[in-house]
Amino acid sequence: MNSNKKVDLKPGEISEDKKYDLRPMNLEKFIGQNNLKSNLKTYIESSKKRNNNLDHIVLYGPPGLGKTTLAHIISNEKNVNIHSTSGPAFTKKGDLVTLLTNLAHGDILFIDEIHRLSPIVEETLYPAMEDYKCDYIIGTGPSARVMQISIENFTLIGATTRLGLLSRPLRDRFGIPLQLNFYEPNDLMKIILLGAEKLKTKIAEKPAYQIAVRSRGTPRIAIRLLKRIIDFSVVQNLDEISIEIVEESLKKMRIDSEGLDDMDRKYLKCISEDYNGGPVGIETLSAALLEQKDIIEDVIEPYLMQKGLVQRTSRGRILSKKGFNHIQTSD
């Protein structure tokens, strides 16, 4: 398969490029998402007692909340291998058929960005998910014939930031839909404290909390900010991260009190100043900001909408009163 990268990890094993990863390896150490975690634990324990595979799972939510981490945790909890790939990696039907026929009994197939599968590749998944069979066309033209291949029972875990882009037939085949939400500051603080410990850095709860409230409810961003603040503290020969170095570092990185960066503020100002607060369509915003539509919808907007700074309507994006106020106070 061309660029279709397949990672085969045995339970509990970490690949070489993840040796220093800060990700948890089991549900007990996974912080936050308590309701999801409780339900998932029940599903895993039930499948173990019945000696069955888990139903197919779709994990959905904004980027950086732990979808990939959870997929690997599930493989560890089930004590099975995981094969990781992504939707865009499949350029033709044969790519998926090759991967499916190489799965062992009970394996997990993890497809990130599953909403980006092409229709013809997606249709190949339907019989594989339901009957553990896939159809393969041999030959071309009038002499072509369809050969049905049996595959081992497996669990598909799909991850997406855009559940609405999944076709209804594919979405309905997932028995376990799990939504990941933005994290509360206290949970992010725990993640930061644990990350600092693994990175051999001293930090107390108060400065860790200050990083947490500026992390857009996202663990990936929290750890990224922590690493950059460590850089500032190392250069200044500090033994411990203090509130002062946190504030100084975030100011230099232009992260404001709500966790917004330059692109977020540029987005808000574009709606406010160029389009009188809206409504303005996504295509227009994309052209005005010189930014891809997917980046705006998947990365920039979810947190701004969750914070009530902008609203999405049938006519386009509208800046809220809170959004106007934020622009004025952040100038």
Same domain, 212 and 236: yes
Q: Residues of the chain with pLDDT > 90: what percent?
A: 78
The confidence band for 48, taking pLDDT boundaries of 50, 70 and 90, is very high
Neighbours of 54 (CB within 10 A): 23
Q: Residue 251 above 70 pLDDT?
A: yes
Element (H, E) at 241: strand 240-241
- Pick the closest to residue 47 from 154, 170, 180, 130 (CA basis): 154
36 plus 158 within the same structural domain: yes
What confidence tens digit (pLDDT) does each residue in 291-311 have?
999 899 989 999 999 999 999
- pLDDT, residue 146, reads 73
pLDDT at 14: 35
Q: How confident is the model at residue 208 (pLDDT cuts 50, 70, 90)?
A: very high
Same domain for 20 and 156: yes
pLDDT of residue 19: 39
What CATH number has the domain bearing residue 226? 1.10.8.60
Q: Measured between alpha carbons, how far apart are the two ends of the chain, in Å? A: 50
* Same structural domain, 92 and 44: yes
Alpha carbons within 13 angstroms on the beta-carbon side of residue 269 total 13
**Does residue 217 form part of some domain?**
yes
Q: Considering the domain boundaries, does residue 49 fall inside one?
A: yes
Tell me the pLDDT tens digit for each residue of 144-197. 677 788 899 999 999 999 999 999 999 999 999 999 999 999 999 999 999 999
Same domain, 165 and 130: yes
Question: Do 143 and 14 share a domain, yes or no?
Answer: yes
Positions annotated as catalytic residues are 67-68, 112, 161, 220
* Same domain assignment for residues 51 and 98: yes
Distance of alpha carbon 187 from alpha carbon 217, whole angstroms: 9
**Residue 84 backbone class (left: φ over 0; alpha: ψ -120 to 50; beta: rest):** beta
Last residue of a domain, one of 205, 227, 252: 252
Residue 32 within a domain: yes
Residues 73 and 147 in one domain: yes
> Is 1 among the domain residues?
no
Find the mean pLDDT for residues 272-285: 93
24: Cβ contacts below 8 Å, ≥ 6 apart: 30, 31, 69, 73
Clarify whether residues 140 and 23 are in a common domain. Answer: yes
Q: What is the CATH number of the domain that holds 307?
A: 1.10.10.10
Pair 155, 98 in one domain: yes
- Tell me which residue range forms the domain holding 16: 7-179
Is 2 a member of any domain? no
Domain count across the chain: 3
257, part of any domain: no
Distance CA 72, CA 83 (A): 10
Cα separation of 297 and 17, whole Å? 30
Q: Are 28 and 129 in contact (CB under 8 A)?
A: no
Mean pLDDT of 47-68: 95
Residue 121 within a domain:
yes
80 and 164 housed in the same domain: yes
Residue partners of 294: CB distance under 8 A and separation at least 6 = none
Domain shared by 210 and 98, yes or no: no
Q: What predicted TM-score, i.e. pTM, was given to this entire model?
A: 0.86
What integer best gives the mean pLDDT of the chain?
89
pLDDT band for 9, please (50, 70, 90 cuts). Answer: very low
Q: Give yes or no for a contact between 96 and 121, defined as CB atoms under 8 angstroms apart.
A: yes
| Residue 93 pLDDT | 84
Q: In angstroms, rounded to a whole number, what is the distance separating the alpha carbons of residues 208 and 150?
A: 52
pLDDT score of 60: 97
Report the CATH number that the domain containing residue 97 is assigned in CATH.
Answer: 3.40.50.300
